[in-house]
Structure 1
Amino acid sequence: MSARVSAGDAAAFYPSDRYGYSELLSTPELAALGQLRTVLDKQVAPLLGEYWEAGEFPYQIRQPLVDLNLMAPEGATDSQGRTSGLYTGFRNFELARTDASVATFYNAQSGLFRTTVLKGGSPEQAADLDPKIRSFEYTGVFALTEPDHGSDIAGGLETSAWREGDNWVINGAKRWIGGAFTADVLAVFARDEADGQVKAFLVPRETPGVSMSKILRKTSLRMMQNADIELRAVRVPDTARLSNINSFKDVAALMRRLRSDVAWIACGLQAGAYEAALRYTLERQQFGRSLASFQLTQQKLATMAANVTASLGMVVRLTQRQEEGIFRDEDSAMAKMFTCTAMRETVALAREVVGGNGITLDTDVARFHADAEAVYSYEGTHDINALILGRALTGTGAFR
C-alpha cells in the first residue's frame, strides 16, 4: 500500500471524522473514495428524493458505480488483489453517508454475496466466481431470512433441500431479500433433510419454481427493492452448492464479517444526517441569527458529532482486529448494537434541529431518519446482538 494521507486531506474529505480515522487510509484508497464521492454527489444525490418518495430504485446509477471498480481500485490493492478492511469500511461509510438504500444495494453484492462465495465456496468456486462478482458480471443476493424466521433463523430455518442423484431439490420461502429482482443468482440457505444441517446453494433467479413479489408499503429503505421469494421443487445441480457451508456454524462465521459491514453503514448514515443538519442550521435564520448560533442547537450538534466519532472508533478498531485474524461473534455484535443505537439518537437529533422542515425530503434529514430504522433491525436486531454479547460476558446463553 502507498503512504498514508495527510491529516489535512483526510479532515477536508471527512468533516465528521473528528479524530482523523480516515488518516489511516492510503493515498490511492482516498483517491478511489474521492472518485466515488464525485459520482455520488453528481449522479446519485440529485435523484434520491424523487425515487425515495416513489419507492423505486434508480437503476441508472448502477453502471456508474460499477465503472469505478470499487472492489479492486487501481493502486489500492495488495499483491493478491485484495483491498484493506479499512478501505472497504470507508467505502460503505461513503455510500451510506449519501444514502442507506444505495449502500445496502451495493453491499448486497460487495459484502453479503461476495463474502458468501469467498468464504462459503470451495477454493475453486471462489477463484472462478470472485472476479465476475467484483466486476458485477455475476450478481447475487443473500437469501437467509424467512417469512416466519428472522432472529430465530438458526434453529427455525424451514426451507428444505434434499439430494436426488446429482441434483438438489429446494422448497421453501425467503423474505426481505434486497436486490433479488435484478440478481443473476440467489444464495439460498436451506436445511438438508438428510442430516438436518444448513447448506447453501446458488440458485439462478429464473430457475423454474422460483417466484418473487415486491414487498410494498415500506416506510424505511423505500428505494431498496425487497422481495418475498417462493421456491417450489426448485432443482439445481450439486455444483451449485457452496461446499464450505455445512452447518449453521458456518453461516454464523459469515455473519461475524457481515455485521461489521452494517456497523460501517450505520456510521455513514449518522455522518450523512449530522452533516445535513449542520449545513441546515448554519444557513437557516431564526430570530435574526443562524440556528447554529443557539446554545441548544450546538449541544445537539455536539452530541451528533460525538456519536459519529465514537462509532467510527469502534468500527475502525474492530476492522483492524479482523485484519489480524480475530473474528468473534461478540465483537461484531457489539459494534452493530452500539453504532445503531448511536445512529438512532443522531438521526433523531438531526430531525429535531431542522425543525418542521426535517419531515420533508428537501433537507435529506427525513430520509436518513426513516432509513435508520431498517439499518437498526437488519443483520441482527439490537436485542439479539446484545444477547450475543451478553453470552460472551457471562458465559451463559439467554436464548437458544
Structure 2
Amino acid sequence: MSTTAPKGSPHPGDLLGIDDVLSDEEKAIRATVRQVCERVVDPYIADWFERGELPAARELAKEFGQVGLLGMHLTGYGCAGMSAVDYGLACLELEASDSGIRSLVSVQGSLAMFAIWRWGTEEQKQQWLPRLAAGEAIGCFGLTEPDHGSDPGSMRTRARKDGTDWVLNGAKMWITNGSIADVAVVWANAGEEHGGIRGFVVPTDTPGFSAPEIKHKMSLRASVTSELVLDGVRLPADAVFPEVRGLKGPLSCLNEARYGIVWGALGAARSCLESARTYSIERQQFGRPIASFQLTQAKLANMAVELANGQLLALHLGRRKDAGTLRHEQVSVGKYNNITKSIEICRTARTILGANGISLEYPVMRHANNLESVLTYEGTAEMHTLVVGQVLTGIAAFR
C-alpha cells in the first residue's frame, strides 16, 4: 500500500498549509538546512545516540558555519543576518534530525554568540564572533549550577577583583558544548560593589578552567554536555562585559534560545508523526494495515492537529519577533505549549509503533527522550507556566 498522501491533500507535517504563507527565501533556507542534515547528520545520528557521543561535533560546526547557520539571526562579524522566521525554520529542521544537533547550533548562536554580540566590547566581538560564525571555534554558556537552575540569582560562582584582574571560582552544570568549547561565556556574582552578576568571556585554555564531560545520561546523548570548573581562573580587566549587570544579561540570552526551541521541538514532533504514519500504513494486523483502525486514525489526527497548532504559534511569534513586538511572556507561551505538545506527539507515535517504538531503528524513542531534556532547559515548564500566571494576575508566585 502506498504511503503517500491522497492527491491534493496536504503533507502530513503541514496539515494547515503553512508552506503557503512562507516566502520563497524562507522555504529555500529550510530546504538548505534539511539537505545539510540529510547529508551529515541523518546517516549517523542513531549510532551517535546509541554510543552516547557526538564525535563529529567540530566537523558539524564547520559544515553549519559554511551555510551560515551559526548566529544566523545576528548581523555583522561574519553572521548571516537572517530573519527570526528563517532561524526558527532552521531550528525545526535541525531538531527533526536530533535535539542534540539543534542544541549545538542554538547554544553556539543564541547563547554564546548572542551574549558577545549584544553585551560584549568591540574587541570581544572582533576576536570571537567571526570564528564562531564560521564554526572555526566553539562556544558555550555557563549559567546553570549544580544547586541553582531555576534560581540563577543565587549562583555561587564568584568573581573577585585582584588589582585590575578578575579571578573566577565556582562550577557550572549541564553545559552544552562545554568540553569542546574554545570560549565560554560565564556568569558570576561579583558582589554588590561591582554590579552583582556579571558576564565574562573566558578562553577555555585559561589556567584553572576545566570542563569534564557528563556521560551518564539517557537524553541528548548525541550532544556534548559538561560541567565547567573554575578554580582561580584569572582574567584581564577587559574580559568582563562592560555595561550589563544583574540577571538582565543572561536572561536576554535565554530568551533568544527559548525562541529557537519553540520551533525546534516541532521538528522532533514532525519526525515522529511521519514515522508513525508511514508505519501505520505498512504494518499489517488482523489482515489489514493498522492505519485502517479508527483509534489509530484518531491518534494520527490528534498529532497532526497539535503539530499544526504549534506551527501556527511559532510562525506568529516569529513574525512578531521580526517586527520587534515579541514579548518575553509570549516566548514562554510558545516554549510551554510546543514542548509539552511535542512530547505528547512523540509518546503517541510510540504507541502506534508498538514495541518497535523503542528501537533505534526508528527515531521516535530518541526524540521522546531528547524532549525530556528540552522540557527542562531554558526554563522548566513550571517556570514558564508561572511567567504566564504573573502576567495574568500581576502576582509573582515563584518568589
TM-score (norm 2): 0.90
Match of 2:258 in 1: 259
Match of 1:27 in 2: 24
> Deviation string for 1:90-110 (max 9, x for gaps)?
000000011111111121112
Match of 1:150 in 2: 149
Q: Does the 8 A contact of 2:62 with 2:134 survive in 1?
A: no
Match of 1:216 in 2: 215
For 2:85 and 2:48, the matched residues in 1 are separated by 30
For 1:129 and 1:351, the matched residues in 2 are separated by 43
For 1:72 and 1:175, the matched residues in 2 are separated by 23
1:181 matched to 2:179: yes
For 2:11 and 2:156, the matched residues in 1 are separated by 44
> Deviation string for 1:297-330 (max 9, x for gaps)?
1110111111111111112111211222224221
Match of 2:53 in 1: 56
Q: Does the 8 A contact of 2:10 with 2:16 survive in 1?
A: no
> Deviation string for 1:53-81 (max 9, x for gaps)?
110114144433333223588xx99xx95
Q: Given the superposition, is the C-alpha separation of residues 30 and 127 from structure 1 closer, same or farther in structure 2, using an over 3 Å criterion?
A: farther
Q: Does the 8 A contact of 1:280 with 1:363 survive in 2?
A: no
Give the one of 10, 13, 16 matched to 2:13: 16
Output the amino acid matched with 1:143: G
CA deviation after TM superposition for structure 1 residue 265, in Å: 1.4
1:381 matched to 2:395: no
Q: Does the 8 A contact of 2:71 with 2:110 survive in 1?
A: no
1:132 matched to 2:153: no
CA deviation after TM superposition for structure 1 residue 19, in Å: 2.3
- Residue 213 of structure 1: SS of its match in structure 2? coil
Match of 1:334 in 2: 333
Q: CA RMSD in A?
A: 2.3
CA deviation after TM superposition for structure 1 residue 270, in Å: 1.1
Output the amino acid matched with 2:51: A
Match of 1:162 in 2: 160
Output the amino acid matched with 1:253: S
Match of 2:5 in 1: none
CA deviation after TM superposition for structure 1 residue 211, in Å: 1.6
Q: Given the superposition, is the C-alpha separation of residues 178 and 71 from structure 1 closer, same or farther in structure 2, using an over 3 Å criterion?
A: closer
| Residue segments in structure 1 that go unaligned for 5+ positions in a row | 1-10
For 2:212 and 2:232, the matched residues in 1 are separated by 18
CA deviation after TM superposition for structure 1 residue 42, in Å: 3.0
Matched length:
385
Q: Does the 8 A contact of 2:178 with 2:227 survive in 1?
A: no
> Pairwise mapping of residues 1-400 of structure 1 onto structure 2 (< 5 A)?
15-59=12-56, 60-71=59-70, 82-122=81-121, 125-126=124-125, 129-153=128-152, 155-193=153-191, 194-195=193-194, 197-400=196-399
Q: Does the 8 A contact of 1:169 with 1:234 survive in 2?
A: yes
Output the amino acid matched with 1:260: Y
| Residue segments in structure 2 that go unaligned for 5+ positions in a row | 1-7
Output the amino acid matched with 2:180: T
- Residue 45 of structure 1: SS of its match in structure 2? coil
- Residue 274 of structure 2: SS of its match in structure 1? helix
Output the amino acid matched with 2:297: Q
Q: Given the superposition, is the C-alpha separation of residues 55 and 239 from structure 1 closer, same or farther in structure 2, using an over 3 Å criterion?
A: same
Q: Does the 8 A contact of 2:71 with 2:108 survive in 1?
A: no
Q: Does the 8 A contact of 2:70 with 2:105 survive in 1?
A: no
Output the amino acid matched with 2:163: G
For 1:184 and 1:51, the matched residues in 2 are separated by 22
- Identity among equivalent pairs (%): 34
For 1:246 and 1:161, the matched residues in 2 are separated by 13
For 1:16 and 1:36, the matched residues in 2 are separated by 17
For 1:124 and 1:306, the matched residues in 2 are separated by 48
For 2:326 and 2:222, the matched residues in 1 are separated by 32
For 1:359 and 1:95, the matched residues in 2 are separated by 22
Q: Given the superposition, is the C-alpha separation of residues 313 and 225 from structure 1 closer, same or farther in structure 2, using an over 3 Å criterion?
A: same
TM-score (norm 1): 0.90
CA deviation after TM superposition for structure 1 residue 14, in Å: 6.6
Output the amino acid matched with 1:243: P
For 2:379 and 2:176, the matched residues in 1 are separated by 16
